[in-house]
Structure 1
Amino acid sequence: MLDAIIVGGGISGLRCAIEFARQGVSYKLCESNDHFGGRCSSQYFDGFVLDRGFQVLLDSYTEVTSLIELDSLNFKTFMSGAMVHTSRGNRFLLDPSKDKRKLWAFWKMLTSDVGTFRDKWRLFRLKMQKGLERTQRTESASVADYLAGSFTSRFNSEFMSPFWESVFLADLQSVPATHFFELFPFFASGSGGLPENGMQAIPDSMVDLLDKNQLVLNKAAKQITENAVEFEDGELIAAKNVVLAVPYSKAQDLLAADDKNHHGRKASCIYYEAPEPPFELPILFLTGCDQKFVRTVSIPTNLHAGYSSNGNALICVGLAPGLDANQAEIRAETKNVLRELFSAVVDDWQVITHMQIPDALPPIDCKPLFPTDSISVCGDYLSVPSINNALGSGRATALRVIETL
């Protein structure tokens, strides 16, 4: 009998498998899809690398850097900060401490009218404290409440709110401030970027650390018992321990949870190709909260030309929360907004595909799951969703299982 069977081949399940392999634990990992990585994955479509929605990897994620050499992925970072679209035109808000052109970045930051001097000083102080500004007030507040009490309304509307909405994929009034303080230190100390071959390179690098004979694709779990997993193809695999490294909704189903919440946080994006990018810098473009359709614009080919095989620019447009990219009228209105933002050159942009991702992040209010002595769960829904916490959960779960063997 196996020591453990892992259900789910996202990065949390893969990290669990790596720890089992290092400790000599016999295991099998089964993934229902035709690829590993779960939410951290990419598609390869008509010569383009399309990440599963707008994603970045932070080089401050210690769970990643302790496992993978980022240089081996040819990892490159975006400029730290953003180009912000305002009613007064496009503005830069940059972090001079992370920019090679420090004097230029400092001048851009100092002269930008996105935020007052107090806003920038407050953000700088928060960065130096690495977000450790937890008080009784912020522990019980939402992110929106915390930002409203800390920065001016214009700074929040033009920068802080649209940026953090794109991180949490939710109305900030519904996100606890503790989630902000969990993630802010990583953004403060690191820079976001992309591997040369897309986000799929992260799980692919993890798979390279494992025995391929212990990994199975296209194998979906049907139900579990204390010491076995029955799969949709009828096979029953026995093991001393079962680890559920599946999305929160699937874990609820397999554990027969009574109070189910299947409403994960959604993300919508549209991928375009264009003869030329609307801007050349490797930087995130943000629109303010007053913009009801487009929230972010990123251009992966400004960072890695290999995201496109034909030399055209690849443009990822992230839609505002609540919009459905499957609706033709939403896509049409998005194109109109892009035309207003970047002029008539947008007429030359061609849609590659659109993505409506139903479980881009787990629900904010995940209900507790109640596994047993021989059934464990792992995933970033157990804390604040992030790549770092997904990996940390997989590692920690493996260590707990190992203690029982």
Structure 2
Amino acid sequence: MNYIFFKLNIMKNVVIVGSGLSGLSCAYHLKKNGINASIYDQSNQLGGRIFSDDIDGFVCDNGFQILLNNYQEVKKILDYKDLNMKYFESGATIYTDSQMYKLYNPIFHPIKSLKSDFNKIFSFSDYISIIKTLFINNHMSTKQYFKHSFSKSANRLFFEPFFKGVFLDDNLENDFTFFKKLFIKFAFGKAGLPKNGMYELVKQIKDKSKIQNINFNMKLKNISNNVAFFQNGKKVSFDFIVLALPIETINVLFNLNLKIDYNTNSTFYIKSGKNVLGKALLLVPDKKYKINSIQCLSNVSSNYSDNNKSLYSVSSNDHNAKKETIIKEFTKITKIQQSEMQLIKSYRIKKALNKNIYKIDRKDNIYFCGDWQKEPSIDGALKSGRLTAEKIINFRKF
């Protein structure tokens, strides 16, 4: 491969295949450093797994997604104020058959937290373990760490159901490092939604990137001799190419023979004239339920509903969860009768989050990015895109 050729051409032709958050982040950081990239995507819109549908005046995001206000990679691209963020109440409501518990984050709600149910769930040793968590590192899985660090009630009622919903993993097999990072972010930050839905994040990054050349319905077939061949017969030459694609697609393109596993999710959107929840996440810890959590999104952002009805998001880690079961459980938990509600949309996401991290080195002038390189999160996707852009930028400077 003639690297002098690339340097003399100053990489005039940089191609990004894939327009999820990692691809958009890469395009933004390239543009910021004077490199214009062209984007090619197999779908008909930007954003990859992040999109929002308008269903009868309701904003339905692709799965229950939230945006933390202390994601550093988001801050490198956007001002959170531009997203018109609306925030959940920091804490949780916990449903059991016998009673409801209410927790408030003492950092944001110091007075309310004193009156909440912390002492019914957490022991004194739990408080010590929470503080220790901020300062230690280990090689346990999250489940092992919970078992060795917290009381049974703290695990059963809060830690396990909450982080099962975060990681979409009922077995909590992810490593402690990722748990610790998100634990700190949830403890010291706020979870929220852009006023008009999660797709606003994609729109804002696109606008900030000032991307001029975007091509849709372009599914990559193969790459050979600095040319990308697409399934519609088109071919595009490049100096550098960034494959911002799912790891399973990379696996097939390059015959890597990787074993790839995903965590799954089902999200059901229910409308109702009844408003029975506030702005807090409602956790359902009992394993007999398919539902992991319920949240009233229209209470967080009124723009999620334009018809004065409430929009509920119901999340399950079982992508095969039957809608009849979900509706029955929703009725029991919320006391909203079936005649007072309607299921308007459901998303069954078999490949929601990667279970593992994959390290794949660039191949000459072919680069890779995606959340599968760093961590399965918005921050991880954006960071992967930025670091890939920096590699190209540094090559130009070399």
Larger mean CA deviation between 193-202 and 18-27 belongs to: 18-27
Q: Which residue of the partner structure matches residue 366 of structure 2?
A: 375
Matched, 1:53 2:84: no
Matched, 1:269 2:267: yes
Pairs within 5 Å for 1:36-51: 36-51=46-61
CA distance in 2, matches of 1:180, 1:261: 23
CA contact (8 A) 1:2 1:28 kept: no
Partner letter of residue 94 of structure 2? V
- Cα offset for 1:86? 2.3
CA distance in 2, matches of 1:145, 1:262: 23
Partner letter of residue 281 of structure 2? L
In structure 2, the CA distance between the partners of 1:230 and 1:83, relative to structure 1 (3 Å rule), is: same
- Cα offset for 1:158? 1.1
Correspondence for 1:360 among 310, 330, 352 = 352
Matched, 1:164 2:163: yes
Partner letter of residue 89 of structure 1? Q
- Cα offset for 1:322? 3.0
CA distance in 2, matches of 1:198, 1:380: 21
Q: Which runs of 5+ in 1 are unaligned?
A: none
Matched, 1:118 2:121: no
Q: Which residue of the partner structure matches residue 221 of structure 2?
A: 222
CA distance in 2, matches of 1:175, 1:289: 21
Pairs within 5 Å for 1:1-400: 2-99=12-109, 102-110=110-118, 112-123=119-130, 125-126=131-132, 131-134=134-137, 138-139=138-139, 141-225=140-224, 227-257=226-256, 259-279=257-277, 281-319=278-316, 321-325=317-321, 330-362=322-354, 364-400=355-391
CA distance in 2, matches of 1:15, 1:90: 42
Equivalent residue pairs, number: 386
Partner letter of residue 270 of structure 2? Y
SS at 2:212's partner residue? helix
SS at 2:271's partner residue? strand
CA distance in 1, matches of 2:106, 2:336: 33
Q: Which runs of 5+ in 2 are unaligned?
A: 1-10
CA contact (8 A) 2:38 2:211 kept: no
Which digits, 9 at most, give the CA deviation of each residue in 1:61-115, with x for residues without a partner?
A: 011123211111110211111100124311112112113xx312332154x5122
Larger mean CA deviation between 310-319 and 343-352 belongs to: 343-352
- Cα offset for 1:2? 4.0
SS at 1:96's partner residue? coil
CA distance in 1, matches of 2:363, 2:340: 57
Which digits, 9 at most, give the CA deviation of each residue in 1:256-305, with x for residues without a partner?
A: 32x133432211111100102222x2110001142331110011100111
- Cα offset for 1:370? 4.3
CA distance in 1, matches of 2:300, 2:323: 26
CA distance in 2, matches of 1:232, 1:400: 29
CA contact (8 A) 1:42 1:198 kept: yes
CA distance in 1, matches of 2:274, 2:127: 33
CA contact (8 A) 2:107 2:188 kept: no
CA distance in 2, matches of 1:395, 1:175: 24
CA distance in 1, matches of 2:30, 2:358: 28
- Cα offset for 1:233? 1.4
Name the TM-score, length of structure 1 as normaliser.
0.90
Partner letter of residue 144 of structure 1? K
In structure 2, the CA distance between the partners of 1:295 and 1:204, relative to structure 1 (3 Å rule), is: same
Which digits, 9 at most, give the CA deviation of each residue in 1:193-212, with x for residues without a partner?
A: 00011110001001112334
CA contact (8 A) 2:50 2:62 kept: yes
Which digits, 9 at most, give the CA deviation of each residue in 1:210-242, with x for residues without a partner?
A: 334322222221112352211121111111111
SS at 1:277's partner residue? coil
SS at 2:239's partner residue? strand
CA distance in 2, matches of 1:189, 1:274: 33
CA contact (8 A) 1:182 1:384 kept: no
**CA RMSD in angstroms, aligned pairs only:** 1.8
Name the TM-score, length of structure 2 as normaliser.
0.92
CA distance in 2, matches of 1:308, 1:215: 31
CA contact (8 A) 2:356 2:372 kept: no
- Cα offset for 1:323? 4.2
Larger mean CA deviation between 171-180 and 230-239 belongs to: 171-180
Which digits, 9 at most, give the CA deviation of each residue in 1:317-356, with x for residues without a partner?
A: 001x33414xxxx211122212221225354110001110
CA contact (8 A) 1:226 1:374 kept: no
- Cα offset for 1:121? 4.3
CA distance in 1, matches of 2:128, 2:338: 37
Identity of aligned residues (%): 28
CA contact (8 A) 1:249 1:261 kept: no
SS at 2:107's partner residue? helix
Partner letter of residue 358 of structure 1? K
CA distance in 2, matches of 1:261, 1:43: 32
Larger mean CA deviation between 367-376 and 234-243 belongs to: 367-376
Partner letter of residue 246 of structure 1? L
